[in-house]
Structure 1
């Protein structure tokens, strides 16, 4: 599941510019970007069209999300215009599905947005093709103030030594559980720091006493696998290669085969249902498991789908394996004629108190720690306050951020789901499924 997935599930009426392009066409589009960018840069020259110098400036902005996110973003951009009357915006937004196909089409077709939203599935791909502006000089000069960001948060936007994106919010992995169910059956709540084996034993007891599987099986969930790897001294990626072996994947799949055999998890069909990215289909709210593996900031949207009280803790094991994760980024097109202004807009949306208050936690917790504290003080939604509190508590335990995922990360995620489900359904042993996954990953990154 992608961080902050839930706000993307709505499809904007009348403004959903979906295109369903093949992966091959997407790759061709990015290749075209690599050729097109130098031409655009040549036209743009070395300077920036400052607002007021050559008349009003219209900045194009592109993002994905539902109507709620669109309203918040448009309000923040309108606030910028009130404070900078010579700058207006051409705003385009759509649902998550098809967004990156559309972005590839725009950039390859010579009509790229000046400022666009991106996530870590694609940041490395766009940075590698010099589509994104290196923001390092802006950070160093103070024009882009990241001094209030957790260091690991802004560093999670660095690709090959270049600052390719700025976190629009912070998120981390969250183990969400049904407090009402546990209280009704006199069962203890899970805690941050419990081992994976302790979590599975706890889930088995939940299943025996409540007759509801204690936990969703997360063997197909890259977030859980990634945290588990970091706790083993490994990582998802090392440079441009995988950071793990077939033996690591086998151990991971065997861990969850044992959990299934003990009745701690649902049946494969229900596990498959829980692997869906839609927040409304998470098993903790559909009543098919006591626990789901999601993002901490999704607590408010999960709560909307159940009458039960929910709680959230870190994933099992050492919580220092988790990090200040960029929920998503803002990036500037390298060939933009208005790149200085685009950077200033990013700075504004992260550091202006009014803008941050408007945007709230829709894209994750505010990156600016001082302003995050103010948002927390004024939050009225109990689920939102809990997600902020959990993230703030975990921030004291976070470890260093890993590198941004490599090109092909989204495909590798889908291959993990495929391999894990082969093991879950018994179509392959854990070792066979692990070998299939490794082979598929090598084909992706070759």
Structure 2
């Protein structure tokens, strides 16, 4: 889910499999003891992000070390793609960090390779509390009865719009609006203001997942794709027709202005993204931006869920107790939320959500949006993605882009995607 910030999702790398023998568990990693012998211990903490996130995280670590003077934290951070390249190397060598930032697309992958620590034992031991999480996020990191990740912040898919463009077109998106309303609005914006109504969602895996969920399906099951070639053919044909009609932005122009977004460059009046990514548009563009609800097929079921960055522990750590205490501090301590703000999404626990009250209008809009969809009761649960999901997402974006540019036909693109997905998922 929304885990990479403004990083181009095509930077997702194909991760090579590692043997179970290489990634096997050690006895120390399975227990609930600290292995510290009563002295000071050091745990390694790694995450992805830029310098600004690192500065904030280092401030929170200073608070943690003050509360737990016998636990020292050694840090490491990389850009998103570089992080997973390094992590794969560390995991393959049997030396992953003790605790690290994680995302739902990697839970099954690294659980299958016995890399992730089941934190249930630490909950039972009282070193980690799963109380006080918002909107069902306490179960977000569960896979097959194992507790493999603890959410640090939440996000959900949204439609970011240029509010002035929508106002000029006389369109007011509200909860309950349909895809028919959405497409009619895009045409009205295009015809009246000579800009695309949307940058184009055909390559955004998480938008298509919502469309599928609204039809009782999903992008992924526990082990495979949850849709057919006919489903994807229909989706990409609709997208390609949108490009030709002008309601979606010209893909060639979108490519030319990257890494800037089509919306913030004025190529379109809206685009789908994770709600916490919406901060980029104010920084990049000059428009009056806001969050609009996800359209639905029936005016009721949006298929939405709260996604989240998570903190996971290594199954090989010699200090599972200290890892659990560190995670517990980072998700429950109010002072951490005051430092981090919405850097990793809206705080996942009520204690941290209540502790940080955003003063800027963008963050206030994100908070209001998540409160609105939670109150409306549209949120559902999500099945953790199968191993290979990250490779599938990269392929989906790349091939959809080829289709939208006209360098590949819809039929050829669909067959290519399913072929690559089956290889990635081992099906």
- Is the shorter-chain TM-score for this pair beyond 0.5, marking a shared fold? yes
| CA spacing shift, 1:76–1:232, aligned 2, 3 Å | same
Query: Unaligned 5+ residue runs, structure 1?
Result: 10-19
2:295 aligned counterpart, secondary structure? coil
CA distance in structure 1 between the partners assigned to 2:396 and 2:58 by the alignment:
37
Computed over aligned residues only, the root mean square deviation of the Cα atoms, in angstroms, reads: 2.4
- Please say if residues 297 and 388 of structure 1, whose CA atoms lie closer than 8 Å, have aligned partners that are also in contact: no
Corresponding residue to 2:284 among 297, 305, 317:
305
Hey, what's the Cα distance between the residues in 1 that align with 2:151 and 2:64? 19
Equivalent residue number for residue 12 of structure 1: none
SS of 1:407's equivalent in the other structure is coil
SS of the residue 1:321 aligns to: coil
Superposed CA offset, 1:377-417 (max 9, x none): x3111101111110111122333212111111121112222
Report the secondary structure of 1:107's partner residue: helix
Residues 1-400 of structure 1: pairs in structure 2 closer than 5 A = 3-6=2-5, 23=14, 26-28=15-17, 30-31=18-19, 34-38=20-24, 41-42=26-27, 46=31, 48-49=33-34, 53-140=37-124, 142-150=126-134, 152-183=136-167, 185-272=168-255, 278=259, 281-317=260-296, 318-326=300-308, 328-375=309-356, 378-396=357-375, 397-400=377-380
CA distance in 2, matches of 1:45, 1:264: 55
Corresponding position of 1:416:
396
Q: CA offset at residue 223 of structure 1?
A: 1.1
- How does the TM-score come out when normalised to structure 1? 0.87
Larger mean CA deviation between 129-138 and 331-340 belongs to 129-138
Counterparts of 1:265 and 1:106, CA distance in 2: 42
Once the two structures are TM-superposed, the CA of residue 45 in structure 1 deviates from its matched residue by 7.1
Deviation at 1:346, TM superposition (A): 0.7
Aligned residue for 2:284, secondary structure, equals: coil
Contact 1:272–1:421 (Cα < 8 Å) also in 2: no
Q: Distance in 2 between matches of 1:21 and 1:308?
A: 30
Distance 1:4 1:302, change over 3 A: farther
CA contact (8 A) 2:161 2:291 kept: yes
- For residues 435 and 335 of structure 1, the distance between their equivalents in structure 2, rounded to whole angstroms, comes to 40
SS at match of 1:312: strand
Residue 91 of structure 1 and its aligned partner are, at CA, apart by: 0.9
Residues paired across the two proteins, number: 420
Q: Secondary structure at the match of 1:121?
A: helix
What TM-score do you get using the length of structure 2 for normalisation? Answer: 0.91
- Kept in 1, the 8 Å contact 2:302–2:378? The answer is yes
Q: Is the 2:100–2:313 contact (alpha carbons within 8 Å) kept by the matching residues of 1?
A: yes
Gaps of 5+ in 2: none
